[in-house]
Amino acid sequence: MSETRPQPVLRTARPEDDEELARLDRSTWSPLHAVLPRPRPPYPPFFDERHAPEDVVVAELDGRVVGYIRLVPPTRLACNAHVRQIQGLAVADEVRGLGVGRALVRAAVEDSRRRGARRITLRVLGHNTPARALYASEGFVVEGVLPGEFHIDGRYADDVLMGRAL
């Protein structure tokens, strides 16, 4: 008999998730996906004027936040309002491989549809092979590459633009 994997509970973030999400964000920081330097105290809040709780889907396992995905309009332009952009995805190290990231990407796609979007886009570092594979398996295609766009840990990294229709 095969063991079934626990399924994450997905929900919209709440203001009281701020510290737990900020802690998760800091604990999953890596040059594999981060363009900003490693966070140092004093730590800013997770939610701010550009990123509200309603922009974030949280994944919980056993009542504990183990992942999130942030989904926002890419610009404030009315002519771009039909697009949503993933601007952050994190999964706790101890639950990687359990399908949490995939569940969050699928939730982002469904949330975008529900909000009337026609497209969903994202940016990912060229060397982040696991994330690129996940996105590709969920229907995202490479729509552009900015070669050497970032200098991280002494190396140049491509900025890969991906998207999909909804």
Q: What is the pLDDT of residues 92-127, one digit of tens each?
A: 999 998 999 999 999 999 999 999 999 999 999 999
- Give the span between the Cα atoms of 4 and 19, in whole angstroms: 31
DSSP structural state of residue 39: P
DSSP structural state of residue 124: E
Per-residue model confidence as pLDDT tens digits over 15-54: 999 999 999 999 999 988 899 888 999 999 999 998 999 9
Asked if 67 and 58 touch (Cβ cutoff 8 Å), the reply is yes
**Confidence check: pLDDT of 81 > 80:** yes
Q: What is the pLDDT of residue 3?
A: 61
Over residues 67-89, the mean pLDDT reads 96
